[in-house]
Structure 1
Amino acid sequence: MTDMAHFGRVAVLMGGWSAEREVSLNSGQAVFDALAGQGIDTVAIDLHREDARDLDRILREQDVDRVFIALHGRGGEDGQIQAVLDLLGVPYTGSGMAASAVGMDKILCKRIWQSAGLDTPAFVVVDGLAQAKAAAERLGWPVIVKPTADGSSVGVSKVDGPEGVEQAWRDAAAHGPVMVERFVSGGEYTVALLGERTLPAIRIEASGEHAFYDYQAKYEAEDTGYRIPCGLDAGEEQRMAATAKVAFELIGASGWGRVDFIRDEAGRHWLIEVNTVPGMTGHSLVPMAAREVGMDFGSLCRTILEQTLVPEGSAPEGADGGESVHGAG
């Protein structure tokens, strides 16, 4: 086990300014409590947009050596914070700037998967309501209408017919550019990745009032079901895990994350999205998968943080691995 003193002082960055701010605050507080509870010198930083412009000063004042990123969505999961930390030479958890940006951009991510021959539902990027209606007709009902760059199913709607497109498009457009995606009917699964290993797959069973695993099912509903073991036979679960690892690595992601699937009635695995900074709340899936292999929440957080410790003279994939921020010049 790593000597806790080797971490130096750890800043947990949380909050941010995306639509997932509240989820991030919950994730960050849980991570802070877990690290501090193990004797790691930890400080919690609720990062606002104006703070991000002066992150160097904030980290210096706090005498920070490395960062645990618990920011979800734009500004924290899309490469912006990662780019700043790279410039500052501060080690941080998770994927680097480029992979974070690709993971947040659903269109680019899906195109990379398609180019490698991986299955992901057909989609159309739309610019306006008329295009959204035409795309939905072309793809066939039902469809999913969603922002191209947000997480936690924010602004995502399942639309069963023409009458629902306008409201769905408005909900998605409130969060930026919009895509219309063919709806694949089937079971929802997720596979978490931790370093080089994949954790057991989880089947997600949203209650009848939720058309899919939406924001409310993820963070508010108490009747969402999680099956672990997931119910697949060992061979199929291994194939799903292998696909998750390939999909994750194709976009350059590293450290830890989660890949989401739909398994259709024919047993085909459709890639939906990748999460490079998954939730770490009481409803979150990565801690659930870790528990299945005997890893409690504190051990999970420490294992993620240990990825920022690298041999002298080398750098982690997700950061430059430089000196402590108060020693960088």
Structure 2
Amino acid sequence: MKIVVLAGGLSTEREVSLATGTAVCKALRKKGHRAVLVDLFLGMEEYDGPLEALFDAPDGRCGNAAIQTSEPDREAVRRSRKDRGPSLIGKDVLNVCALADIVFVGLHGESGEDGRIQATFDLMGIPYTGSGHLSSAMAMDKVVTKRMMDAAGIRTPKWRLAEYGEADIAALAAELPVPCVVKTPGGGSSLGVYLPETKTELEDALRDLLRFGSQVIVEERIKGRDFFTAVLGDRWLPPVEVISATGKFDYTAKYQSGAALELCPSDLTEDQQREMGEMALNLHRLLGLSVYSRADFVLDSNGVPWCLETNSLPGLTSGSLMPKEAAAVGLTYEDLCEEIVQLSLRRKN
């Protein structure tokens, strides 16, 4: 099949997306597909041949994507595009996607997980992997997800939504309990997530979070072990436990080699695995997600799992969690990518 692996974009998770896209593109080419990597934002500015020929590029236009220890400089990326236009979709991106049998959505964060590119493809009749536009948007919005978990009785930490400005920080920090979790409603890859232990740390976190917008979720801090459970098709995969070297599973711990220990199969009872798996699958269905997703959990000191959120497009880099869970049930990385494609085609049909 002709497959466009769409990655990059202009979100804070741009580098993670490019790493996912590169790995997926190489895996699909090993499976015999004519896969090509396309950057959503930069597009085909540097390409002057026929678009159909892209699918026969000897390397699928794959580079050596690397994830740095800090989020990318998005303004530098914006300046690097020649047209300097306002569109988040680069030159000829939609044209080459329309030539493909399916688009593998390797995007993360805004424009990818928020449902906007899926809505565009729906209007154009372009098949793509993963969930549809509405379920993607709901899963990306942590406020919507939290409200649906509360309504459905899925165990999640107590939370509240706060709206504020610079002038409100001192009063809001005085009102909120510590320790707690504060995070932007639409972030990912642990960007825009803080775990303040003191009022001073809380004020600093609230001040920094204003760069993402005027709303934050304030969540009860449940201390325990971090677990992540993926859903593939209509089944859940074995949870993976992540033990950070620093005690915080942040952007660095997620993507830098040696920053965290990842255990799969993990040291859980069968009942604990099943409870996490069923909670992940229930949330997947509740939001109307399709093909695959991944839910995040904390297991408290009493062995009780608490669901934090879900991700409609979990990372598929070589160091990501879902491939480790797939490997635990005998799926190679290439087989996982192929199954996502085949499940998505069946959903579309």
- For the superposition of Structure 1 and Structure 2, which TM-score range results when normalised by the shorter chain? 0.7 to 0.9
Secondary structure of residue in 1 paired with 2:137: helix
Match of 2:290 in 1: 254
In 2, Cα distance between equivalents of 1:54 and 1:108: 34
TM-score (norm 2): 0.82
Letter in 2 for 1:156: V
The alpha carbon displacement at 1:110 in A equals 0.5
Contact 1:136/1:143, CA 8 A, preserved across alignment: no
CA deviations 1:95-117 (Å, max 9, x no partner) are 11111001100011000000111
The alpha carbon displacement at 1:53 in A equals 8.8
Q: In percent, how many aligned pairs have the same letter?
A: 38
Q: Which has the higher contact order (CA 8 A, sep 6+)?
A: 1
Match of 1:38 in 2: 31
In 1, Cα distance between equivalents of 2:319 and 2:235: 22
The alpha carbon displacement at 1:300 in A equals 0.4
In 1, Cα distance between equivalents of 2:188 and 2:136: 12
Closer/same/farther in 2, CA of residues 250 and 166 from structure 1, 3 Å limit: same
Q: 1:168 aligned to 2:209? A: no
Secondary structure of residue in 2 paired with 1:229: coil
In 2, Cα distance between equivalents of 1:54 and 1:123: 43
What runs of 5+ residues in structure 2 fail to find an aligned partner? 42-86
In 2, Cα distance between equivalents of 1:232 and 1:94: 29
In 2, Cα distance between equivalents of 1:136 and 1:186: 24
Closer/same/farther in 2, CA of residues 101 and 35 from structure 1, 3 Å limit: same
TM-score (norm 1): 0.87
Question: Which runs of structure 2 are paired with 1:197-276 in the superposition (5 Å)?
Answer: 197-207=235-245, 209-210=246-247, 212-276=248-312
Aligned length in residues: 302
Letter in 2 for 1:85: F
The alpha carbon displacement at 1:146 in A equals 1.1
Match of 2:141 in 1: 105
Letter in 1 for 2:218: V
CA deviations 1:277-319 (Å, max 9, x no partner) are 0111122000000111111110000000101323xxxxx2xx5
Match of 2:230 in 1: 192
Match of 1:293 in 2: 329
The one of 60, 72, 76 equivalent to 2:112 is 76
The alpha carbon displacement at 1:170 in A equals 2.7
Larger CA deviation: 166-175 vs 190-199: 166-175
The one of 6, 9, 15 equivalent to 1:13 is 6
In 2, Cα distance between equivalents of 1:69 and 1:258: 15
Closer/same/farther in 2, CA of residues 237 and 137 from structure 1, 3 Å limit: farther
The one of 123, 130, 133 equivalent to 1:94 is 130
Letter in 2 for 1:51: I
Instruction: State the superposition RMSD in angstroms.
Output: 1.8
Contact 2:13/2:188, CA 8 A, preserved across alignment: yes
Match of 2:77 in 1: none
Larger CA deviation: 221-230 vs 110-119: 221-230
The alpha carbon displacement at 1:129 in A equals 5.0
CA deviations 1:166-219 (Å, max 9, x no partner) are 221133222233222111111111111110111111111111x24x21111101
The one of 116, 133, 149 equivalent to 2:186 is 149
Letter in 2 for 1:116: A
Closer/same/farther in 2, CA of residues 135 and 195 from structure 1, 3 Å limit: farther
Q: 1:25 aligned to 2:61? A: no
In 1, Cα distance between equivalents of 2:4 and 2:293: 20
Match of 1:326 in 2: none
The alpha carbon displacement at 1:93 in A equals 0.8
Contact 1:156/1:171, CA 8 A, preserved across alignment: no
In 2, Cα distance between equivalents of 1:282 and 1:144: 29
